[in-house]
Structure 1
């Protein structure tokens, strides 16, 4: 299992991650995904170019991930919610087990479910106030 820091920004994720890349090196994996790419999503014009997801692979061990908040979707950056621990389990079942266990007694933000980007994903704040994301990328032939 990999554990990665996940940072949230209020409209400056691309700028910040580009800066981190200039200092730390590495490459963006999978390009930069914007909220405007979500199928069927109606967003205010000023939020369409906000980053839904960006991943900076610094080396084989360290990857920093990030996104912008989307105020129209109810996401508001509050100091303390700008950092998540992102887990990439080795299987869908392991992801489900981790999600269920760590979210018990906490506040689920997004249920662990299949996404349009080809993964099972869920996010929550645990009972201690720590933000977590669980993302299992589906392998070819998996549903």
Structure 2
């Protein structure tokens, strides 16, 4: 089984996925606008350039998303997208990239469970936790 994150945006999915591609070191595998879809003739003109579906491959899984054609995407609440890395320097790089233009809620720092952990909300209002795995103990 694989559990993936699906994010919904109010018209800025393309910008968000380009941002995440850089921040997470991933690659956009698929991105289709409403205007490129088989339903293009039924799409309102102002939504033809909005994203119907996008898939980003990251080193650890997939992030998928779209723009909500009804413009009803709500501000995320009750969850965070969690990224776990093996190296504290890579965790710090990802945290800095994700929090750029957003807000850090807990600075990336050493904790009792991790060599590096931080929480932020990115400039697209998506909450993130970046955690570095603790070294294996013998």
Aligned to 1:78: 74
Inter-partner Cα distance in structure 2 for 1:78 and 1:23: 23
Inter-partner Cα distance in structure 1 for 2:23 and 2:37: 30
Listed one character per residue, the Cα deviations across residues 6-43 of structure 1 (whole Å, up to 9, x for unaligned) are 000000001011011111111111x3111112324411
Question: Structure 1: 5+ residue runs without aligned partners?
Answer: 84-143
Question: Structure 2: 5+ residue runs without aligned partners?
Answer: 80-138
Larger gyration radius, structure 1 or structure 2:
2
TM-score with structure 1 setting the length: 0.49
1:27 aligns with 2:22: no
TM alignment of 1:1-143, pairs within 5 A: 1-29=1-29, 31-40=30-39, 41-59=41-59, 61-71=60-70, 76-80=72-76
Inter-partner Cα distance in structure 1 for 2:75 and 2:25: 27
Inter-partner Cα distance in structure 2 for 1:77 and 1:67: 10
* Ranges of 4+ aligned residues in structure 1 off by more than 4 Å: none
Inter-partner Cα distance in structure 2 for 1:80 and 1:27: 24
Q: What SS does structure 2 have at the residue aligned with 1:2?
A: coil
Listed one character per residue, the Cα deviations across residues 84-136 of structure 1 (whole Å, up to 9, x for unaligned) are xxxxxxxxxxxxxxxxxxxxxxxxxxxxxxxxxxxxxxxxxxxxxxxxxxxxx
- RMSD, aligned α-carbons: 2.2
Count of residues paired in the alignment:
78
Q: What SS does structure 2 have at the residue aligned with 1:7?
A: strand
TM-score with structure 2 setting the length: 0.50
Inter-partner Cα distance in structure 1 for 2:21 and 2:38: 29
